[in-house]
Amino acid sequence: MQETKLNVLVEGAVMVAFAEALEYIPHTVGVSAIEVQFGLIPLVLYALRRGVKPGLTAGLVWGLLDMVLRGFSSGSVLNAWQGILEYPIAFAVVGLAGFAAAGLAGAHSKGTVTGYIILGTILGALAKYFCHFIAGIIYWGSYAPKGQSAWLYSLIVNGGSAVVSTIVTVLVLVAIYLPAPQLFRVSK
Ligand code: 218
């Protein structure tokens, strides 16, 4: 099939819609603020297929959409700077997973592809939760249990979210790749 910019755009719109739909599945761990962000699955897949620039753009759109549809109503937007850091910026940097796209495109074995899926997911999730970690220290410290410092609380919540979200995303993407490797390749 002839690949056009329109293909990349439409595919991005579908992935963003899918990512946002997945946000409606309950995804906090127990009573904690730790979350399993299922939306990373389509967003990282898109960045792995299309690279950094489309990935950053799709992440930015997803962040704005999530802020409007869920952020304001859940009380997760505390002020303008925090809102900008934790929605458009934090969601956009998931697209950094696209740094693994070139390696994945040139990979020939299942092991190598799995390695690039892991690398891309870690890059995207780490970048996103680093933003939330910083925001957690500055803006969410008052939610820390008595006696716990703001940075340790933020590290536990956002580090925990990064780890569980990365594990779930890698497991699902590898489970998709094994029976359907064509989904990770862009036809030329
Ligand atoms: C310690 C702490 N608690 C809450 C937040 C806010 N936060 C964390 C992760 C993801 C998101 C975006 C919606 O999924 C938000 C708003 C924080 N940064 N730190």
Tell whether ligand 1 has an atom less than 6 A from the beta carbon of residue 33: yes
Domains of the chain: 2-184 (1.10.1760.20)
**Can you read off the two tokens belonging to residue 174?**
């590898």
Average pLDDT, the chain: 96
Burial of 70 (0-12, 13-18, 19+ CB in 10 A): middle
Q: Whose CA is nearest to atom 16 of ligand 1?
A: 76
Q: Whose CA is nearest to atom 2 of ligand 1?
A: 136
Strand partners, 35: 28
CA distance 111 to 79: 44
- pLDDT, one tens digit per residue, over 98-121 is 999 999 999 999 999 999 999 999
SS3 183: helix
Residues in contact with 94: Cβ distance below 8 Å, sequence separation at least 6, in sequence order: 40, 43, 44, 47, 55, 59, 62, 124, 125, 127, 128
Q: Is the pLDDT of residue 1 over 80?
A: no
Residue 88 vs residues 6, 50, 55, 109, 176: alpha-carbon distances, Å: 23, 20, 13, 35, 28
CA distance 169 to 181: 16
Tell whether ligand 1 has an atom less than 6 A from the beta carbon of residue 154: yes
Tell whether ligand 1 has an atom less than 6 A from the beta carbon of residue 158: yes
Look at the pTM and tell me if it is higher than 0.85. Answer: yes
Tell whether ligand 1 has an atom less than 6 A from the beta carbon of residue 136: yes
- pLDDT, one tens digit per residue, over 47-57 is 999 999 999 99
Of the CA atoms within 13 Å of residue 17, those in its CB half-sphere come to 6
What is the number of the ligand 1 atom nearest to the C-alpha of 23?
A: 14
34 Cα–ligand 1 center, Å: 9
